[in-house]
Amino acid sequence: MARKLTHIDAKGNAVMVDVGRKPSTARTATAKGSVYMRAETLKRIMRGGVKKGDVLAVAQLAGIAGAKRTPDLIPLCHPLALTSVKVALACDPKRRAVDIAATCAVTGQTGVEMEALAAVAVAALTVYDMCKAMDRAMRISDIRLVYKAGGKSGVFRGQ
């Protein structure tokens, strides 16, 4: 049996799901992703030799801002009063990658998966933007939800 789509009404119109009757619970979500690049590009990021500035610090702030602006970017997302947004970036020279992880938290009636995913995506786009002059072949990849807790669907653990 096919599941009913929650964001489509009986007439086929897009709707924002009514969460008004759901109880507020503590909810968290973590997403991850990577930006792959040339070894020299990663070395310059690690040395602080990128003309636009500290790539990791700027991308971290951009990721936090991205989580906060998620309902402005994703039309059917609920605006949430986020209680925490943490974005971490780490360089992996063996894989020639900047790895990004974002964890968002809220006490509310709906989850924060989209906020965590948006934080990773915006941080990754910022890494690309700051380094594109030296490496246009960078690749943003593997953005995914790796953890979710709270609400009636319980805990999800991904890879």
- In 69-139, alpha helices (H): 70-73, 113-131
Q: Is 135 a catalytic residue?
A: no
Catalytic entry in 9, 99, 129, 135: 129
Q: How far is the C-alpha of 39 from the C-alpha of 56, rounded, in Å?
A: 16
How far apart CA 1 and CA 101 sit, in angstroms, is 35
- Comparing CA positions, the residue from 87, 79, 86 lying closest to residue 110 is 79
Write down the H helix ranges in 77-112: none
Which residues are catalytically annotated?
129
